[in-house]
């Protein structure tokens, strides 16, 4: 593999603080590197140094001649007056990029719901983020640096990004490298093969010398990193034992295998077995349900035949939930996934009583106490002059966790606050620390129903592990809305999906099933998401066209002609994207087939491989033909 860049004794300062020192790292062709570390340790600084956007205070960076590096920063620098098309492809005419399969894939994965002729200034924050990500991925480059690339992406978007990056950097003979700062552990496991851990430095204060931050390198994915790091910590001093126990517990869950996990981490099984042999499961589900039933009774929260509609700017009505019945049981732990705008926040608002349904009712048990971890932390603004431990103690002096009494100061320590940080004013703590404080205050109030809305925002992987450890012991009903696939599989026992058609669907196959449904054409009707066995969705309306609903089924479902035309137009656009994707795959397969056809004359051993590619080519052609017939069916309706 060709060497792309490296550092020699790299150092960086943050004011008077020595953020990093003596960092020696290297990047080769087809490297896929994930950067981890606590908030404030210097992850983004390291990425900016490697990308050449920041000059080092010590040492140097050596790059190959002509090396092209691009970077996605956490904040964008897009021109508000520019068109989306021009922001993604600056200085290029449409014909210069429109024929490239990789560019079409980027558009389909990130920009399918965005008007390319719209001005950037009219977009939402999430849409701007996706435009900026598309810009970076579309630029010609050798090294791609991404700072929190999964922010503002839903589960489907994260899965697409992982697939796109693996297709670019993980295939045999790939050139270029990926370096990503992310807290998304599923993404790390799916994409990265090397982990750089940024270990924060220590400033003891006074005249004592600082201990600068450093970078430790681990081979393998996030799961392998977890094992190696846990083993290092297990051999460390007594002060590190709490973190080692936490990591060991997480590793035990990883080793047992998450739902929908399709590949095992590449580390020595014998070492893993020795480390986790005596570790109990992350949570005792039977005991938690018994405790939850004692605290909640049999009735928790029920949505009974609930419909929610909102007026549209055009004067019509948009249906978010359509006759949905969903019953939450004591101790149930459920994750909610769905496309943007499908109604995830609406579900939470209904459960906590902030929103009344248009029709139907929300039934609440008499002893239910709901607490919500919202996406922002504005409720802490009024406590800005209080210290962290005081804000926790204000809610309760102690709480029972895993059958043991935990004081407010012990709770702050358990969530990663040192004694010094625990006595810091809230106005002076970071965004990640505010998030931790927000969760601690909720848990100290001892609710019996906990609603989490994107709880992983602003949290590093260590804090996420600590949060998951606390949630394992939560003896109540838990509902989690998150794009973080790892978290959903880790802390919930099953998942449901909002597919944008007004229904709520159970996912026996977990997040992987949701992705299959979306890839096949979006909504699939007829499943039951109710824990009590009552129907949660409308009767089946799916047509027979491959991967989606046909125009005939739209008409038979009682649509008006104009509504049927809109549905047909939307379905035709979806089929076009799917056909383009399959054609791109077919081009790659046939290119490999042509190479093997030349090689087989001198090397008969490639015959089996050639047969396999020939079969793939035939299957892809058949699938494209089916989809083209479905597209023609919808196009005929539009021509009527």
Is 159 a domain residue? yes
Give the per-residue pLDDT at 95. 87
Kindly report which listed range (205-209, 226-230, 540-544) carries the lowest average pLDDT score: 540-544
Is 13 a domain residue? yes
pLDDT tens for 218-245 read 988 888 888 887 777 666 654 455 555 6
Q: Answer yes or no: do 275 and 287 share one domain.
A: no
Q: Answer yes or no: do 154 and 17 share one domain.
A: yes
Strands lying side by side in the sheet with 504-507: 370-373, 449-453, 477-481, 333-338, 494-498, 504-507
Q: Taking a C-beta distance cutoff of 8 angstroms, is the pair 194, 31 a contact?
A: yes
Is 41 a domain residue? yes
Q: Answer yes or no: do 214 and 127 share one domain.
A: no
Q: Taking a C-beta distance cutoff of 8 angstroms, is the pair 334, 495 a contact?
A: yes
Q: Answer yes or no: do 350 and 485 share one domain.
A: yes
E-strand stretches of 64-163: 69-72, 143-147
Question: CA-CA distance, 370 to 385, in Å (whole number)?
Answer: 27
**pLDDT value at 532 more than 50:** no
What is the length of the chain? Answer: 640
**pLDDT value at 1 more than 70:** no
**pLDDT value at 438 more than 80:** yes
**pLDDT value at 136 more than 90:** yes
Q: Answer yes or no: do 334 and 360 share one domain.
A: yes
**pLDDT value at 535 more than 50:** no
Is 303 a domain residue? yes
Q: Answer yes or no: do 126 and 207 share one domain.
A: no
Kindly report which listed range (35-39, 260-264, 535-539) carries the lowest average pLDDT score: 535-539
- CA separation, residue 370 to residues 288, 375, 442, 456, 497 (Å): 17, 16, 10, 20, 22
CA 38 from centroid of its chain's CA atoms: 18
Q: Answer yes or no: do 246 and 112 share one domain.
A: no
Give the per-residue pLDDT at 367. 83
Q: Taking a C-beta distance cutoff of 8 angstroms, is the pair 309, 320 a contact?
A: yes
Give the per-residue pLDDT at 62. 92
Q: Give the rounded percent of residues in the chain with a pLDDT score beyond 70.
A: 78
Q: Report the sign of the C-alpha dihedral through residues 550, 551, 556, 562, in that order.
A: positive
Q: Answer yes or no: do 203 and 262 share one domain.
A: no
**pLDDT value at 621 more than 90:** no
Is 428 a domain residue? no
Q: Answer yes or no: do 467 and 522 share one domain.
A: yes
Q: Answer yes or no: do 466 and 594 share one domain.
A: no
**pLDDT value at 249 more than 70:** no
Structural domain of 599: 561-639
Residues 74, 78, 83, 84: what is their CA dihedral angle, to the nearest 10 degrees?
A: -20
Domain end residue (candidates: 134, 159, 183): 134
Give the per-residue pLDDT at 433. 78
Highest mean pLDDT among 275-289, 335-349, 581-595: 335-349
pLDDT tens for 562-604 read 555 566 666 777 777 788 888 888 888 888 877 777 776 667 6
**pLDDT value at 115 more than 80:** yes
Question: CA-CA distance, 485 to 470, in Å (whole number)?
Answer: 18
Label residue 606 by pLDDT band (50, 70, 90).
Answer: low
More confident residue, 467 or 85: 85
Label residue 36 by pLDDT band (50, 70, 90).
Answer: very high
Question: CA-CA distance, 513 to 507, in Å (whole number)?
Answer: 6
Give backbone dihedrals phi and psi of 106, rounded to 5 degrees, phi first: -65, -45
Give the per-residue pLDDT at 239. 47
**pLDDT value at 31 more than 90:** yes
CA 540 from centroid of its chain's CA atoms: 30
Give the per-residue pLDDT at 246. 60
Number of domains into which the chain is organized: 5
Q: Output the domain CATH number for residue 39.
A: 3.40.50.300
Is 380 a domain residue? no
**What is the DSSP-derived secondary structure letter of residue 539?**
P
Average the pLDDT over 396-412 and give the result. Answer: 80
Give the per-residue pLDDT at 282. 55
Domain end residue (candidates: 219, 252, 267): 219
Give the per-residue pLDDT at 289. 44
pLDDT tens for 471-489 read 877 878 899 998 888 888 8
Q: Answer yes or no: do 61 and 178 share one domain.
A: yes
Give the per-residue pLDDT at 244. 58
Q: Report the sign of the C-alpha dihedral through residues 559, 565, 568, 569, in that order.
A: negative
Give the per-residue pLDDT at 145. 96
Label residue 84 by pLDDT band (50, 70, 90).
Answer: very high
Is 549 a domain residue? no
**What is the DSSP-derived secondary structure letter of residue 498?**
E
- CA separation, residue 342 to residues 110, 267, 411, 481 (Å): 17, 39, 36, 12
Q: Answer yes or no: do 226 and 202 share one domain.
A: no
Domain end residue (candidates: 112, 134, 156): 134
209: tokens are 């010398």
Please list the alpha-helical segments (H only) found in 212-353: 222-234, 241-256, 269-276, 285-296, 344-352
């Amino acid at each position: 593999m060709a060497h792309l860049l490296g550092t020699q004794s790299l150092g960086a300062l943050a004011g008077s603080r020595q953020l990093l020192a003596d960092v020696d790292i290297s990047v080769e062709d087809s490297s896929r590197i994930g950067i981890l570390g606590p908030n404030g340790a210097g992850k983004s600084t390291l990425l900016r140094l490697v990308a050449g956007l920041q000059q080092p205070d010590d040492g140097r960076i050596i790059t190959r001649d002509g090396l092209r590096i691009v970077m996605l920063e956490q904040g964008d620098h897009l021109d508000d007056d520019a068109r989306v098309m021009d922001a993604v492809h600056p200085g290029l005419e449409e014909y210069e990029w429109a024929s490239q399969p990789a560019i079409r894939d980027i558009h389909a994965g990130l920009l399918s719901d965005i008007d390319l002729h719209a001005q950037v200034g009219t977009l939402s924050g999430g849409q701007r983020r996706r435009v900026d990500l598309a810009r970076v991925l579309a630029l010609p480059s050798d090294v791609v640096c991404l700072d929190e690339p999964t922010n503002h992406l839903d589960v489907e978007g994260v899965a697409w990004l992982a697939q796109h990056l693996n297709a670019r950097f993980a295939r045999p003979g790939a050139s270029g490298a990926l370096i990503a700062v992310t807290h998304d552990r599923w993404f790390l496991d799916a994409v990265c093969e090397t982990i750089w851990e940024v270990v924060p430095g220590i400033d003891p204060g006074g005249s004592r010398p600082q201990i600068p931050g450093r970078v430790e390198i681990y081979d393998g994915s996030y799961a392998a990193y977890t094992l190696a790091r846990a083993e290092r910590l297990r051999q460390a001093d007594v002060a590190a034992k709490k973190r080692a126990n936490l990591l060991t517990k997480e590793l035990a869950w990883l080793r047992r295998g998450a739902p929908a996990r399709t590949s095992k981490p590449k580390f020595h099984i014998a070492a893993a077995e020795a480390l986790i042999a005596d570790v109990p499961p992350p949570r005792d589900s039977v005991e938690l349900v018994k405790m939850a039933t004692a605290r909640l009774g049999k009735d928790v929260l029920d949505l009974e035949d609930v419909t929610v509609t909102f007026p549209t700017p055009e004067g019509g009505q948009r249906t978010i939930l359509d006759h949905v019945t969903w019953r939450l049981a004591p101790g149930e732990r459920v994750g909610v996934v769905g496309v943007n705008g499908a109604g995830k926040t609406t579900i939470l608002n209904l459960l906590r009583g902030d929103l009344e349904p248009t029709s139907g009712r929300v039934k609440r048990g008499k002893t239910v106490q709901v607490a919500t971890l919202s996406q922002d932390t504005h409720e802490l603004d009024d406590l800005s002059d209080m210290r962290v431990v005081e804000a926790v103690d204000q809610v309760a002096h102690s709480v029972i966790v895993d059958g043991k009494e935990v004081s407010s100061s012990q709770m702050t320590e358990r969530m990663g606050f040192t004694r010094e940080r625990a006595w810091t004013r809230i106005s002076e703590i970071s965004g990640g620390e505010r998030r931790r404080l927000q969760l601690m205050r909720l848990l100290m109030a001892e609710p019996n129903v906990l609603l989490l809305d994107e709880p992983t925002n602003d949290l590093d992987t260590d804090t996420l592990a600590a949060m998951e450890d606390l949630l394992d012991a939560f003896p109540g009903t838990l509902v989690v809305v998150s794009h973080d696939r790892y978290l959903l599989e880790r802390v919930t026992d099953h998942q449901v999906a909002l597919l944008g058609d007004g229904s709520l669907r159970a996912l026996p196959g977990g997040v992987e099933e949701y992705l299959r449904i979306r890839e096949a054409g979006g909504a699939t009707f007829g499943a039951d998401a109710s824990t009590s066995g009552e129907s949660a969705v409308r009767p089946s309306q799916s047509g027979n066209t491959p991967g989606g609903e046909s125009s005939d089924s739209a008409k038979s479902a009682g649509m008006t002609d104009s509504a049927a035309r809109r549905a047909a137009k939307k379905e035709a656009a979806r089929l076009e994207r799917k056909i383009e994707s399959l054609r791109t795959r077919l081009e790659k397969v046939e290119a490999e087939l042509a190479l093997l056809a030349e090689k087989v004359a001198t090397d008969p051993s490639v015959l089996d491989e050639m047969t396999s590619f020939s079969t793939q080519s035939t299957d892809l052609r058949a699938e494209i033909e089916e989809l083209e017939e479905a597209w023609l069916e919808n196009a005929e309706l539009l021509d009527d």
